[in-house]
Structures are given as structure tokens and as C-alpha cells.
Structure 1
């Protein structure tokens, strides 16, 4: 997940409100369509429920998850782990030989542990801002570096769990315009080293649902397509502390879900922003809440993805969605349930962002990890626990 510039974010959100929405196709037909191509139906089923395991193998102070908790989450029905890997460790422009060796050793151990625990794993190429800046400025040079990094990983894991380890080509491709032409080339380059592996691909930029709706599928049938979902960002990203002082979302707080412009809580936030002279934040909130924030609105946003699945008969997952812990716990739970429901009604698999960081559904206290019960229940209602493959 990367923060968007305010102007671009506002344009995306305003553009979203005018999309035509068709009625959702029949769920049974969508489920059949997901397993109709080159991706085995049992693998599609194993991608149904999952989470992003952040904070483990990246950074200078990795935080390994509690193996016992991973086992309980697997028993609860979470069958898929998306494992972000900072590909810059493998790129000479950003990483040293020692950093590369350290990163690969961490990755080796993490993959073994997750696969031994029974999870299906997506190895997510998730480089940082250095690569992102390069891809925006020199997309062809960045593509060559991406291909080289994948050659290392694909050769290293060529024989590892061919039916349970997927390669995700690139998280949120920074240069969306360039990525349109680069994606088939990146897939072809990776296929040299991973001819039969299931790959995960996505439209460029923040991987929004409407971008997928406009994307023709590639000829390669062994692909899973991924989108991300964080709308409304005024709710999911309120009070974020990484966007910089000029990020209008930074000054937001106390916004509920569901919500409408006339609600008391929303009016109170708008009044506070006016008193504090935060005009950019006030304008952002006003623009995003022109339409009420409801589960029904979220469901309508997923309708174009259902149409895309029915038309192209390719599997789709929403492999990032989550709300910051700056929102109240009940509101976060309601939002998660709404997104999870919208995806499941269309047989779209999901992986929650993230594990135990700011968007997490697991709390770390005094060296112990425990699921946050309302969030886990929103993702997997108790009556549905344990049903995933």
C-alpha cells in the first residue's frame, strides 16, 4: 500500500462515482468462471481467505509471527498468506551483497514455515520508494531490474511447492501508463524461469477495481488478477502519519463507518477542520462523502469486477484491503465485513492488509500475539470458521 498524492487521490475518487454499474452476475456462474481457465479450481479456493504477513522479513528489525497463532489462524479458515518481499534487496542499485544474502535467508525460512503450516503463499514483489521513483522516471531501466530480481527468486524456488507458491509480479506498479505495455513483457520474462508457476498480475498504479475493469486479460491462462480496495480513504486512512504534513487525510479523525455527510460525527469533524483552518482536509472530506459510505456502496464498486470475471473467465483476488487503527474498532469491523462480503458474493478471494502493524487484525502486547476478535470475526464469522481448504 502506498499513499497517493492528494490531487490524484481526489480525481480517482470523484471519477469513481460516475462509473456505470451493472447488476452482479449470478454467483454460481462467477464461481465456475474463476476455475474455468488455467488456474486449478482448488487453488482458487485456497486463495479465498488470507492475510498479508507484513513486518516479518522486511526492515532492520523483523518481527516473526507466533507459530502457534499461525496454526490457529489456519484452523480458523485462513488459507492464503501474501508475503511482501522488498525486491530492492536483490537490485545492485539499492542493496549490498550482505543485504541480499540476509534477505534471501529470511525469505527461505519464512516460506518453509508458512508452507509447512499448510498455507498457500503469494510471494509479493514489493520494492520500496527507490524502485518506485525509478519506475516513474526510467520505466525501462526499472523493468530490467525487476526481471533480474525475479530471475534470482524464480531459480531459487523453482522446485518449491509448485501448487502452493505463487509469484506476484509487482505490487502497485508505480508508472501505470508504462506498466500497460510492460506487464506482458514482465510475465514473459518470468516465464523463462517459472514456466508452469501460477503468477499474480495487476493493473498499474494503486490497483483500483475500475482499472481492472478496463484491463484486457493476457493470453497466458495461468494468471490470477489482483486489485486493492481502501475506499473511502477518508475513513480507511484517517490520521495516517506517513503521508507528510500536506496530506489532507492526516488531519482527519473520528470518522465512522457507515456514514453520511449529515451525520453528527461527520459534521463535528468538518467543524473542527474549519476551526483549525485545514481547508485541504475539509475539501477532501466533503468530496469523498458526497455519496454515503455504506456496505451497499462498497458492493456496487465491486460490480465491475464481477462483470470482468464473467466476461473473461479469469480469477481475481482483492489482495489488499484494510482500515487503519486510527478508526474505532467497531467501525473497522463493519468496514471489513462490508468489503469481505462484497468480494465473497462474487467469488473473489481476499487477503487482509495487514497482520500486526497499523492496519493489523492481530495485537502485539508484552511479547504476545492475539487476534483482535471483532476484526477476525468480521473477516471470518464464527459460523463460517474452518471451511476454507
Structure 2
């Protein structure tokens, strides 16, 4: 009997080691934001209750329901070749409620996770703070590691973690922070973000040693923020996130009051020239009926940003070097690159009036390059995002809600 008991104990320990030896397996994902982020408000500026949008409200934010095919959206996502959804969730209603109302909010979110996982997809549960209710914005965690806002937020994370333990550990991961804004990320920083992230990992581990955690660096969740992080709290069920929108001058070509036409920069920069970029802008302004005087003013505002973009000469070598910073950080800390996580990347497409965005051929070249750089290093990724009306989505922003076939191809999906 003693021998049997010893063998049983050794088997249990071996099984425990196997179970906890790796994080939730992630490969190719896509973010879904407009469903559970920016939870609707009542006229007095407080959260509508019960909180969060229904699926129908999400799908009809910017188009009639008749534009959508009559099929399950999450089964559709899976059929496209994605294996997980990065589900962006507004933590505001959880922070603003107590007792029974808080349990109601958690129940809504639990049903949402069940909804996605029942379609055969895994879930990265992304607590994605918005600024629509200032008291519960990302700013609440910006006043230092020992501030009341951080304590309140960490309490909310613990409750979410407890809710997620009701699911199989092979189905869900928790990302407690999105793009935290602690700056700078160098030897002069205060160390506050390090303390917040380490303490939050400890909070979650006190609830579950099985739940996969997505760890985030500061400085907007960038590679710079990641490599400033000391992963002394590491365990095998952690991923380390970075977002890739670089160069921002290319991925976010957005019109503004000072630069009304901001579009058509090439990628890589070396295949174009400042004169060609200016010519594209002139053609779009002429098509929009903009007079010569206004055109001249717009071009005057655009010339310096265009010149800077071509001077930086972004292309494949710069992209490789930037991602290598994350890879080298992981290798220094003996973390497999498969536990890095490119949690967001994307690029605005050209608007119908040419005011903003990248032309398709440049956008798709960029997306393919970023994706291939990640996959070549065994880094899982999530593209931004499934559907929105802003021009940075897989589903066409207007008309029939069909996927962008060129984007699927750039992502290596059938």
C-alpha cells in the first residue's frame, strides 16, 4: 500500500507539472471591442443597467442588421481560421457597482465568455479601460502603485479572475491591463508600473495557479514598455504582451483639424517618395472639390510629417529590429518567444474620400510583414479588430458585412 501511495503521489505531481507547464495555447486571434467595451451610458452619464451591449446592439452600431449574413458571428470568426478572440471589456461597470449589481455585471460577462467558447474559440479577457466615465478610466491607475485607484482596480481584477476560474484553464486567459500609460520607460522611471504589475500577478495567482495571465509593460503597452519590465514574477503560465503600431505615422494616417488630408504614405517607405505622396493628396483633394487655396494650406501642413516619414525610411529591416528588441528581452530572461504575445497590430485603410488611411497595397504589405515577423519567432498574435466603422477592421466598414479578403490573405488565413 505504501508503494502504491508513493506511486500515486508521484503520478499526481507529474500530472500537476504537465498541467502547469505551459500557458493557454494561442496562435492567431482577433480583437472584438464594440460588443463589451464602452458600456452604454444613461442620460445622467452613469452606466446603463444591466451593463454592456447585446450582440444585436453591437452589430447594429454603424449599419442595419440586414447588412449582416444570417450566421453566428463567432462561428464565422472560427471558420476564418482564428483560434481565439481578444475580448475587450470595459471594467467601468465592475468598478462602479457593489453587491448584487456587481454580481449582475459579472454574470453578463460570464455569459459572454461562454458564448465565445461555445463556438470553439478561446478567449483572452482584456480589461480595456475607456475614458467615457472619468472616475473609472485608465487614469485611475495612474497615480502610483500605492494609490486608492490602483487598490480598487486590483480588487476588481481579483473578482474577474475568480469568475474566469469557472472555465477550463485551456479556454481562457486574463489580460488585466490594456496600454497602461506610465512614462517614461527607461532608467528614470519610478518603478511604479513594475510594482503594480507584479502585485496584480500575485493577486491572480492567489486565486488560481492555472489561469493564464497576459502581462503588459508600461508606455502604452509598447515594446519599449515591455523591455523595461523585470519579469522576476515569471511563471510558466504567463504571456508578455506588446502592441505593434509602428511606425505610427503609417498605421494611423488620420485626418485632423490641422492636417485634413493625411493618407497614402507607402510601405515600405523606400518604394515611394515625398513628391508622390503629395501628388496623391492633391488628387484626393481635387476629387473632393477642395479649392486651390485650401489645398495649398493642407499641403503646407502635411509637408513636414511627410518629410519625416521618408527620412525615417521605415521598412522590413526596421520592423525586424524593433520586434527583435522584444525577442532579445525574452531571451535574456530565459522566456521562450512563444510566451511573447503581439496583442494588437493593425493599420487604417484608405477612407472613401481619401482623407485618411493607407492604400490597400501598402496596408496589406505591412500587415503581412508584421504577421510574418511574429510567426517567424513563434509569437502568437491578435489583429485589431473584427468590426468597427473607423476603417481599421476585418469586416468592411460599410455596406455588406463581409470580410476583407485581402486582409485575410495577408494574415495567412484561408
Shared fold, TM over 0.5: yes
Does structure 1 conserve the Cα–Cα contact (< 8 Å) formed by 2:110 and 2:163? no
User: Would you say 1:47 and 2:26 are equivalent positions?
Assistant: yes
Q: Which residue of 2 aligns with 1:74?
A: 78
Aligned to 2:408: 376
SS at match of 1:370: coil
Specify the SS of the correspondent of 1:290: helix
Distance 1:364 1:262, change over 3 A: closer
Equivalent residue, structure 2, for 1:26: none
Asked if the contact 2:88/2:128 (under 8 Å) is kept, the reply is yes
Alpha-carbon distance between aligned partners in 2 of 1:283 and 1:137, rounded to the nearest angstrom: 36
Q: Which moved more, 1:80-89 or 1:176-185?
A: 176-185
Change (3 A) 1:364 1:235: closer
Query: 109-118 vs 286-295, which deviates more?
Result: 286-295
User: Counterparts of 1:38 and 1:335 in 2: how far apart (Å)?
Assistant: 36
1:361 maps to which of 388, 394, 410: 394
Q: How far 1:116 moved relative to its partner? A: 0.9
Query: Which of 63, 67, 88 is matched with 1:84 structurally?
Result: 88
Provide Cα deviations, 1:141-167, integer angstroms capped at 9, x if missing partner.
Answer: 221121111122122232212121001
With over 3 angstroms needed to count, the CA separation of the structure-2 counterparts of 1:40 and 1:362, relative to structure 1, is same
TM-superposed CA distance for 1:67, in Å, is 5.2
2:204 aligns with one of 187, 190, 194 = 190
CA contact (8 A) 1:69 1:370 kept: no
Match of 1:265 among 276, 281, 285: 276
TM-score (norm 1): 0.76
Distance (Å, rounded) in 2 between the aligned partners of 1:194 and 1:234: 41
Q: Give distance in 2, aligned partners of 1:240 and 1:125.
A: 29
CA contact (8 A) 1:57 1:106 kept: no
Aligned match for 2:106, one of 104, 107, 110: 104
Contact 2:179–2:222 (CA under 8 A) maintained in structure 1: no
Structure 1 377/69 Cα, relative in aligned 2: closer, same or farther at 3 Å? Answer: farther
Please give the alpha-carbon distance, in whole angstroms, between the structure 1 residues aligned to 2:361 and 2:121. 29
Give the aligned partner of residue 8 of structure 1: none
CA separation of 1:138/1:363 partners in 2, compared to 1, >3 Å: closer, same or farther?
same
**Residue 245 (structure 2) aligned to one of 191, 214, 230:** 230
CA distance in 2, matches of 1:294, 1:183: 33
CA distance in 2, matches of 1:280, 1:109: 49
Q: CA deviation at 1:254?
A: 2.3
- Please, which of 343, 362, 379 is the counterpart of residue 374 of structure 2? 343
Indicate yes or no: 2:58 matched with 1:63: yes
Partner of 1:134: 140
Larger radius of gyration: 2
In structure 2, how many angstroms separate the alpha carbons of the residues matched to 1:259 and 1:284?
13
CA distance in 1, matches of 2:275, 2:158: 55
**CA distance in 2 between partners of 1:87 and 1:361 (Å):** 25
Residue equivalent to 1:18: none
Unmatched segments (≥5 aa) in structure 2: 1-17, 41-52, 60-67, 184-188, 286-293, 350-356
Q: Distance in 2 between matches of 1:240 and 1:162?
A: 43
Q: How does 1:135-174 map to 2 (within 5 A)?
A: 135-137=141-143, 140-174=147-181
* CA shift in 2, pair 1:180/1:125, >3 Å: same
TM-score calculated relative to the size of structure 2:
0.72
Are the counterparts in 2 of residues 361 and 375 from structure 1 also a CA contact under 8 Å? Answer: yes
| Kept after mapping to 1: 8 A contact 2:222/2:244 | yes
- Measured on the aligned residues, the alpha-carbon RMSD in Å equals 3.1
- How much does 1:135 deviate? 2.7
Give CA deviations for 1:250-303 in whole Å, capped at 9, x if unaligned.
652222222247354334479899931676654344333323232333122211
> Aligned partners of 1:189 and 1:279: how far apart in 2?
53
Distance (whole Å) between structure 1 residues aligned to residue 229 and residue 375 of structure 2? 21
